[in-house]
Amino acid sequence: MIALAQPSTGQESPAGTALLHLEHITKQFGGVKALDDVRFEIRRGEVLCLAGENGCGKSTLIKIISGVHQPEKGATMLFEGRSIEGLNPSTARQLGIQVIWQDLALFPEMSVAENISFESNLGTRPRLVNYAAMKVQAERILERLGVRLDLDALLRTLPIAQRQVVAIARALIGEATLVFMDEPTASLSQAETDALLVIVRRLSAEGIAVVFVSHRLAEVLDVCSRVTVIRDGRYVGTFPTQGMTQTRLTELMTGKTFDYAVQQRDLAGAPVILSVKNLSRAPNYADISFTIRRGEIVGLTGRLGSGRTELALSLFGMSRPTGGEITLEGRSAHFKSNREAIRAGVAYVSEDRLQLGLVQPQSIADNTVMAVLDDLIGPDRLISMTRRNTLVDDWIRDLAVKIGHPENAVSTLSGGNQQRVVLAKWLATNPKLLILDSPTVGVDVGARAGIFAIVHRLAEAGMAILLISDEIPEVYFNADRILHMRDGRIVGSYVPGETEIDAIEEAVHA
Amino acid sequence: MMSTRLVRRTDRGGLLSLVDKDVLGLLALLLVVIVVFGATAPGFLSATTFTSVAFQLPELGLLSLAMLMPIISGGFNLAITFTANLSGLAMAYVLQSHGGVDAGVGFFVLGVLAALATGALVGWLMGTIIAYTGAHPILVSLSTMIFVRGLGEFLTRGGDISGVPGYVQAIGQGTVFGIPLPLLVFAAAVLLWTIVLSRTRLGFATRMIGSNIEATRYSGVPTRRSLTLIYTLSGVMCAIAGIVMLARFNSVRVGHGESYLLITVLACFLGRVDPFGGFGRVLPVAIALVILQVIASGLNLLGANQHLSTALWGGFLLLIMVTRSIWASQVLQMTFGKR
């Protein structure tokens, strides 16, 4: 079960040449050891990934390096070979250590220039703001990054990708030597991510070291030269990304080996549940044709913006196709609303669990029964609380949702358990076709296997499943067939096992 | 992994006690208010006080119920008082044109139906606009308020219409076994609203819409139809308030009860309704209403100058809010102390 990796010590440079070298870092919060004898090292101009599951101690380590927390006694902290014990946020900043947290911490009501040059204005005399100087300064930094932005635009009017750039620019205002980026690509599209990675490489070329914290393993392997893995507060090792696979990295992060095997099932004889013919909806997708059989899992992959979610929404009755035909169990389907789709046996697990998948402040129980209210009506034409509670208890048990109390807010659950509640909600409608749109976004690597175990069980029971994901291994190891969508069209169809995973990755990310 | 059963058969008694905490807290507050005025205001603990509270409570109470559902759905209905006026006007019109004080019971029933239809129509109009344009409920109900007030003023030429049959006045002023009739109407309305909010699909949808309308729509709940229905029911409740007001004052005038508008919002919040929508129950709001009315009556009895008593009333409410926040932070401290 446990496959511990051997750290490749040969890849680490001697402490003398490192920009930052930490050893024996331990941090205790009350009775809990958040970090236990961790080491960390980065060279000048290096792009390093800090990987680990939620709660493994990554944030604590970043806070120690940026001077927010002090490590316990016995730690060695060297910056360019000099000891930096007793580091505090202000000295960390003087050394050029900058952290860009996931929430960016920018000022939405201030302009781009003000956001970038804000800090250089603090504590200066005369105590007046020199807007002209601010703009010049901001302009110079954006130029360095190779980005053009309207300096006078209010930050809140910018898309998230540009705000990210502003946050990076702000980090560079003082002579930065080491920049931490916490989940910088979590809300970016593929194109925006690519643009960000270009900026990261520019920084690296300037000699600035960048530490990348990301859940997206594919891009981690793409942009970083080495990856440092932390698990449960302990140092697992630092590995070169060359030759590293997503599967192996996942194993290192979770300490578990996953049973990765390609599906090999013969479903040719199974009846067709969903048939889509020449389906089009301008400008989202065009000429889409495919079928899903009973018990079949069809993977649909493609970059963000390829039209995959729009296609799913049409199958779910949320938008109407402008041409082509949808056939569900042999009957032509023209859904006027998602209510009709649900009644016909279609369920849709949204990629946006926070905003669309669940009503976060409301209870686990109410979220579970939300799609089947009609079934709860008792003989007195009112909602039967007995039926509601029985239904909720049954599903919670069936999907092994780990909860405190069904009347607690669903927002109190972890990502993986929230996703189980979403599944429970839809399974209660007894669907024939289940559409899963990026079902593991924001779900810990370890909890993903649990979600897919449920999905496979449903397929075995005869449900037709459309699995949408931009993580190729996810579709490769879970689907019977993979469709590749680009610019609104299906441009490829693969069978895992017959086509190598690398070939598919190449086709999708090319 | 399917075998990991970490879920206990759930004990929902825990929820019940949680729910009761709200109600018990408000009842305790009510007790404090009664004790304070009982000790300071002469003749406070008497049947007269009870009767005066019992007659004044229902109007404000019915209007608060009309405000409650829109607030839980994350919206607002600023048109409640004028919708009540217009509904009362419809009933008065039916009675006036069929004999005035001598109108028969048949026309009384017709008048009630006309009032309910008027309230429902105003609410439906508002709900439809909110549901289908996505405009903010404050803007839509504010515009509706101005429209309805203008319409009422035009129809009445700014005056009032008075003179209803004696048996209609009994609804506003009579008693059954010593219990004022308006109070019974209010109690029935509270019961009805409790059932609607806690046991119907509409009530369920109201709470869900209040927390996140898009996620609710994605789950197949008919959000537009629900919103329309929420405001229609709100209008119907306004109409009931309008009928009671007409019966009690034997007249209807546009603008009557205008000052209740913000007090209904206050009653909802005092009754632990979430200002941001999604959460709220009827019973705590009803108790909050009693508290507000008892304070008003107590201040009256203390013989405070009428204008000063408004200020005192406001001061008392501020005191309640401050006390509650101190209480909450102390509970917080206790929880932290344990850790």
pLDDT tens digits, one per residue of B258-304: 889 988 998 998 888 988 899 999 999 999 999 988 988 888 888 76
User: Considering only CB atoms, which chain B residues are within 8 Å of A346?
Assistant: none
The verdict on a CB contact (< 8 Å) between B5 and A397 is yes
pLDDT in tens, B67-85: 999 999 999 999 999 999 9
A506, part of any domain: yes
User: Do A398 and A435 lie in a common domain?
Assistant: no
> Of the residues A409, A430, A451, which one is the last residue of a structural domain?
A430
Å between B14 CA and nearest CA of chain A: 9
CATH code of A278's domain: 3.40.50.300
CATH code: domain of residue B117:
1.10.3470
A424 and A447 assigned to the same domain: no
- pLDDT, residue A2, reads 38
Number of CB atoms found within 10 A of residue A153's CB: 14
- B7 to A393: CB separation less than 8 angstroms, yes or no: yes
In a domain? residue B339: no
A194 in any annotated domain = no
Q: Is A395 on the interface with B (CB under 8 A)?
A: no
pLDDT at position A233 is 86
Chain A residues close to B207, C-beta within 8 Å: 362, 366
B43 assigned to some structural domain: no
Asked whether residue B297 is domain-assigned, the answer is yes
| Cα→Cα distances B286→A432, B190, B269, B281, B324, Å | 46, 7, 11, 9, 18
Summarize pLDDT for B238-260 with one digit per residue, the tens: 999 999 999 998 889 998 888 89
CB contact under 8 Å between A359 and B215, yes or no, is yes
Alpha-carbon gap: A131 to the closest alpha carbon of chain B (Å): 38
Q: How far is CA B334 from the centre of its chain?
A: 35
Whether B212 has its CB under 8 Å from any CB of chain A: the answer is yes
| Domain stop point among A430, A451, A473 | A430
Q: Does B323 touch chain A (CB under 8 A)?
A: no
- The answer, for B201 touching chain A at a CB cutoff of 8 Å, is yes
Domain limit, last residue, from A413, A430, A447: A430
Determine which of A370, A414, A422, A456 to mutate to test the interface with B (most B C-beta atoms within 10 Å). A370
Q: What is the mean pLDDT of chain B?
A: 86
Residue A202, in any domain of the structure? no
Alpha-helix runs per DSSP H in A188-317: 190-205, 217-223, 246-254, 308-315
A324 and A464 housed in the same domain:
yes
Q: What is the pLDDT of residue A187?
A: 66
Please give, rounded to a whole number of angstroms, the shortest distance from the CA of B153 to a CA of chain A.
41
Set of chain B residues whose Cβ sits within 8 Å of the Cβ of A374: 201
Residues of chain A with pLDDT under 70: 1-16, 31, 121-127, 186-190, 215, 257-261, 263, 510
A367 occurs within a structural domain: yes
E strand or H helix that includes residue A22: strand A20-29
Q: Is A262 on the interface with B (CB under 8 A)?
A: no
Collapse the DSSP code of A97 into the 3-class scheme (helix H, G, I; strand E, B; otherwise coil) and give the result.
strand
**Are A402 and A301 in the same domain?**
no
Q: How far is A32 from chain B (nearest CA, A)?
A: 14
Asked if residue A329 belongs to a domain, the reply is yes
Token pair, residue A491, equals 């441009």
| pLDDT interval class at B331 (50, 70, 90) | low
In the block, tokens 């599944």 appear at A423
- Domain extent, residue B283, equals 49-329
Which of A393, A449, A457 faces B10 most closely, judged by CB atoms?
A: A393
Contact assignment for B214 to A382 by CB distance below 8 Å: no
Q: Say if the Cβ atoms of B10 and A382 lie within 8 Å.
A: no
Do A251 and A453 form a contact (C-beta atoms < 8 A)?
no
pLDDT of residue B338: 40
CB B59 within 8 A of CB B257: yes
Per DSSP, the three-state class of B78 is coil
B107 found inside a domain: yes
Which chain B residue lies closest to A392 (C-alpha atoms)? B10
- Nearest chain B residue to A450 by CA: give it: B1
Which pLDDT score, from 0 to 100, does residue B10 have?
37
Chain B positions in Cβ-Cβ contact with residue A362 (cut-off 8 Å) = 207-208, 211, 278
Using the beta-carbon criterion (under 8 Å), do B12 and A389 form an inter-chain contact? yes
User: Would B241 be classed as within a structural domain?
Assistant: yes
Bridge partners of A23?
A: A76
Residue pair A200/A146 in contact by the 8 Å Cβ criterion: no
In this structure, the answer to whether residues A437 and A304 fall within a common structural domain is yes
Question: At A34, which helix (H) or strand (E)?
Answer: strand A32-42
Q: Is the pLDDT of residue B207 over 50?
A: yes
What number is the average pLDDT over the span B132-160?
A: 93
- A450 in contact with B, Cβ within 8 Å: yes
Please answer yes or no on whether B1 and A350 come within 8 Å at the CB atom: no
* pLDDT digit string, tens, across residues B96-136: 888 878 888 899 999 999 999 999 999 999 999 999 998 99
Q: Is some CB atom of chain B closer than 8 A to the CB atom of A282?
A: no
User: Measured between CB atoms, which of A370, A400, A403 is closest to B219?
Assistant: A370
What is the nearest CA distance from A1 to chain B, expressed in angstroms?
Answer: 14
Q: Domain for residue A37, yes or no?
A: no
Mean pLDDT score, B305-320: 77
pLDDT at res. A286? 94
Closest in B4, B15, B200 to A383, CB measured: B200
* Encoded amino acid at B83, one letter: T
B5 inside 8 A of chain A by CB: yes
In chain A, the number of structural domains is 2
Q: Is B195 on the interface with A (CB under 8 A)?
A: yes
Is B14 an interface residue toward A (CB < 8 Å)?
A: yes
- b/e string for B287-320 if b means 16 or more Cβ within 10 A? bbbbbbbbbbbbbbbeebeeeebeebbeebbeeb
Across the interface, of A358, A377, A397, the residue whose CB is closest to B215 is A358
Whether residues A435 and A340 share a domain: the answer is: yes
Is A180 an 8 Å CB contact of chain B? no
Closest CA to B277 of B99, B118, B136, B89: B136
Considering only CB atoms, A342 lies closest to which of B6, B208, B220, namely: B220
Residue A6 included in any domain: no
Q: Which residues of A touch B214 (CB under 8 A)?
A: 355-356
For B216, the closest chain A residue by CA position comes to: A359
Same domain, A388 and A320: no
Domain count, chain B: 1
Is A397's Cβ below 8 Å from some Cβ in B?
A: yes
Tell me if chain B has a CB within 8 Å of the CB of A393: yes
Q: Are residues A281 and A341 in the same domain?
A: yes
Return the pLDDT at A227.
Answer: 92
3-state secondary structure A293-358: ECCCEEEEECCCCCCHHHHHHHHCCCCCCCEEEEEECCEECCCCCHHHHHHHCEEEECCCHHHHHC
Question: Inter-chain contact A359–B216, Cβ cutoff 8 Å?
Answer: yes
Mean pLDDT of B159-171: 86
Query: Quick one: closest CA in B to A371, which residue?
Result: B219
Interface size between A and B, measured as CB pairs under 8 A: 95
Q: Is residue B194 part of a domain?
A: yes
B21 touches chain A (CB under 8 A): no
Q: What share of chain A is helix, strand, coil (3-state, %, to 5)?
A: 35, 25, 40
Q: Are residues A376 and A412 in the same domain?
A: yes
The pLDDT of residue A324 is 94
Of residues B161 and B233, more confidence is placed in: B233
CA–CA separation, A423 vs A428, rounded Å?
A: 8
Residue B96 within any structural domain of the chain: yes
User: Do A282 and A416 belong together in one domain?
Assistant: no
Task: Look at residue A383 in the predicted model and tell me its pLDDT.
Answer: 93
Euclidean distance between CA atoms B309 and B300, whole angstroms: 7
Contact A465, A432 (CB under 8 A): no
Contact A377 B201 (CB under 8 A): yes
User: In Å, how far from its chain's centre is CA A264?
Assistant: 28
- What is the extent of the structural domain holding A496? 273-345+431-510
Q: Do B278 and A360 touch (CB under 8 A)?
A: no
Q: Of the candidates A140, A64, A154, which has an alpha carbon nearest to the alpha carbon of residue A108? A: A154
What is the predicted pLDDT for the residue at A249?
84
Nearest to B1 among A355, A400, A429 (CB): A400
DSSP state of A183: S
Co-location of A301 and A440 in the same domain: yes
Four-point Cα dihedral B97, B103, B107, B112, nearest 10: 90
Statement: residue B55 has pLDDT above 80: yes
B7/A355 CB distance under 8 A: no
Q: Do B200 and A382 touch (CB under 8 A)?
A: yes
- Give the pLDDT band of residue B206 (cuts 50, 70, 90): very high
Residue B249: enclosing H or E segment and its boundaries? helix B223-249
> Is A58 part of any domain?
no
| Same-domain status, A426 and A439 | no
Mutation target for A interface from B2, B6, B7: give the one with most A CBs within 10 A. B7
pLDDT at residue B8, as a whole number = 35
CB contact under 8 A, A357 and B218: yes
Residue B238 sits at φ, ψ, to 5 deg, of -60, -45
Can you tell me which residue has the tokens 């100058």?
A: B305
In the DSSP assignment, the letter for residue A157 is G
Whether B33 maps to a domain, the answer reads no
In the prediction, which pLDDT does B87 show?
96
CA distance B256 to A61: 65
